[in-house]
């Protein structure tokens, strides 16, 4: 609301004041709904598309903070904003569209924020909530007046099955970030009559890779990028997950909850004091030279109390060892250093969530969508890794990925790494 209108209203009696507010709200709603009629032509988007269309435009009223009595989960206050949903049409008609959402606050601070996804993406990032690792009570970016936007990255579903389509893979890798950005800029221009003075990107994990990707591929579009835990070596992360999943699926190779507890305790025993303070935090994780042999069971025939058999120690090694990918002639075409041991392994968000889950990958492995992470209780990593090998690399939804041999796929792995990894 401008100062001029405010000054004018202060001179009016209360009844007329109500009428003026209603009129202004009506104008804001009309301006929002008018965006539904807009279409974005291919030249307005710097990478090839068949243009974008708006599928929904509605004014969302301001909402106060709420707390879910069942979960105690707090949803912070949101301001009045215009919610725009739409689709960017692919060039290849068999590729999925990029679905996006742009949120235009009535009280705009003149700036914009693009938010990234997670895992394999596959759901529209609404961008109406908190940024990554934001304090619980920090007002949402939208509430602070940013025009925010996000997308589903050009496919639906949090698995890699989209990757059998080249345009969908390129969209996921990087192109959708630019296409979504350019489309959102056209929508912002239509609503406010000008482009943002500053544009930022927030993302975590896969969204962090997206942030590093825009910084490397489209640096002129952004004034700042904020990322946490960026999965920059994405293809490697996914292939490594399959290596871990393979070790866990071998006979006797699975790690139990007791194993993980014992491992976490041993890490703290060996490395907590490296930083000079016994506080359960391995501050000097680079100095943690963890010796796993201390976890070996004394009586291999009767492992108990979380001790590790030799097969389980091999699994632990497989989870952390360096990656060396060789082609069919034995030449190394890609390598990555080992993972670090640094505390937090036994937290619920540690190995249990990311690597082991409740059960190993089943053998034989069910095909495609039947490989359901939740139903089968597979760790996130082995699930993602299986999906990566099947769809990103081999394009075979029925492939059993345990002990997958990448050698025949060296060319494809190299191409996928070039597309997906933020290492330009």
CA 15 to chain centre: 50
DSSP structure string for 70-106: TT--EE--B--EEEEEEEEPPSSTTSPPEEEEEEEES
Q: Which is nearer to Ca ion, 264 or 303 (CB)?
A: 264
In angstroms, what is the minimal distance from the CB of 288 to Ca ion?
10
Tell the smallest beta-carbon distance from residue 341 to Ca ion (Å). Answer: 14
Residue with tokens 């290492």: 423
Which residue number, 70 or 278, has a Cβ lying nearer to Ca ion?
A: 278
**In whole angstroms, how close is the CB of 274 to Ca ion at the nearest point?**
7
Q: Please identify, using beta-carbon distances, which residue of 288 and 376 lies nearer to Ca ion.
A: 288
Minimum distance between the CB of residue 286 and Ca ion, rounded to whole angstroms? 13
CB of 278 to Ca ion, least distance (A): 6
Smallest separation, CB 276 to Ca ion (Å) = 7
- Quickly count: other Cβ atoms within 10 Å of residue 352's Cβ: 19
| Residue 115, beta-bridge partner list | 202
Nearer to Ca ion, 89 or 273 (CB): 273
| Minimum CB–partner distance for residue 307 and Ca ion (Å) | 25
Which is nearer to Ca ion, 281 or 314 (by Cβ)? 281
- CB distance 363 to 279 below 8 Å: no
Report the residue number, 121 or 272, with the smaller CB distance to Ca ion: 272
CB of 204 to Ca ion, least distance (A): 25
Nearer to Ca ion, 269 or 398 (CB): 269
Residue 119 or 283: the one with the smaller Cβ distance to Ca ion is 283
Alpha-carbon distance of 46 to 88, in angstroms, equals 12
Q: Are 199 and 113 in contact (CB under 8 A)?
A: yes
- Buried-exposed string 162-185: b where 16+ CB fall within 10 A, e elsewhere: bbebebbbbbbbbbbbbbbbbbbb
In which region does residue 389 sit, left (phi positive, over 0), alpha (psi from -120 to 50) or beta (all else)?
alpha
Distance of closest approach, residue 290 Cβ to Ca ion, in angstroms = 14
Nearer to Ca ion by Cβ, of 279 and 403: the residue is 279
Residues that bind Ca ion (CB under 5 A): 272, 275, 277, 279, 281
CA dihedral (305, 310, 316, 322) in degrees, to 10, reads 160
- Residue partners of 184: CB distance under 8 A and separation at least 6: 100, 102, 112, 114, 147, 149
Cα separation, 297 vs 309, whole angstroms: 6
Handedness of CA 78, 84, 90, 94 (dihedral sign): positive
> Is the separation of the CB atoms in 234 and 421 below 8 Å?
yes
What are the b/e assignments for 387-413, b being 16+ CB within 10 Å?
bbbbbbbbeeeebbbbebebeebbeeb
């Amino acid at each position: 609301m401008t100062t001029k209108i405010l000054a004018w209203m202060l001179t009016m009696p209360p009844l007329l004041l109500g009428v003026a507010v209603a009129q202004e709200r009506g104008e804001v709603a009309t301006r929002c709904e008018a965006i539904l009629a807009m279409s974005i032509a291919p030249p307005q988007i710097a990478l090839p598309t068949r243009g974008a269309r708006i599928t929904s435009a509605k004014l969302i009223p301001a909402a106060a903070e709420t707390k879910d009595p069942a979960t105690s989960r707090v949803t912070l206050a949101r301001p009045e904003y215009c919610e725009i949903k739409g689709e960017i049409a692919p060039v290849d008609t068999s590729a999925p569209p990029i679905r996006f959402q742009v949120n235009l606050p009535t009280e705009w601070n003149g700036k914009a924020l693009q938010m990234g996804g997670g895992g394999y993406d596959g759901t529209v990032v609404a961008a109406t909530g908190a940024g990554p690792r934001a304090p619980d009570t920090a007002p949402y970016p939208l509430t602070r007046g940013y025009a925010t936007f996000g997308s589903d990255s050009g496919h639906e579903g949090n698995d890699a099955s989209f990757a059998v389509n080249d345009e969908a893979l390129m969209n996921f890798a990087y192109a959708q970030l630019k296409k979504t950005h350019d489309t959102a800029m056209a929508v912002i221009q239509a609503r406010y009559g000008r482009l943002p003075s500053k544009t930022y990107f927030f993302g975590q994990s896969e969204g962090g890779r997206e942030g590093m990707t825009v910084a490397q591929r489209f640096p002129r579009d952004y004034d700042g990028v904020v990322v946490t835990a960026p999965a920059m070596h994405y293809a490697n992360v996914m292939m490594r997950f399959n290596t871990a999943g393979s070790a866990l699926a071998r006979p006797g190779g699975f790690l139990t909850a007791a194993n993980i507890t014992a491992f976490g305790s041993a890490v703290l025993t060996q490395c907590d004091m490296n930083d000079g303070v016994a506080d359960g935090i391995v501050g000097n994780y680079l100095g943690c030279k963890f010796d796993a042999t201390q976890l070996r069971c004394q009586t291999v025939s009767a492992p108990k109390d979380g001790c590790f058999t030799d097969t389980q120690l091999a699994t632990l090694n497989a989870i952390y060892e360096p990656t060396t990918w060789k082609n069919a002639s034995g030449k190394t075409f890609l390598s990555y250093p080992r993972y670090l041991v640094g505390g937090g392994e036994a937290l619920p968000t540690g190995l249990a969530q990311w690597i082991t889950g409740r059960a190993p990958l089943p053998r034989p492995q069910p095909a495609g969508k039947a490989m359901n992470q939740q139903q089968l209780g597979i760790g996130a990593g082995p699930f993602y890794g299986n999906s990566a090998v099947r769809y990103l690399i081999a394009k075979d939804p029925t492939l059993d990925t345990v002990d997958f041999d990448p050698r025949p796929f060296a060319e494809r792995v190299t191409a996928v790494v070039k597309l997906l990894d933020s290492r330009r």
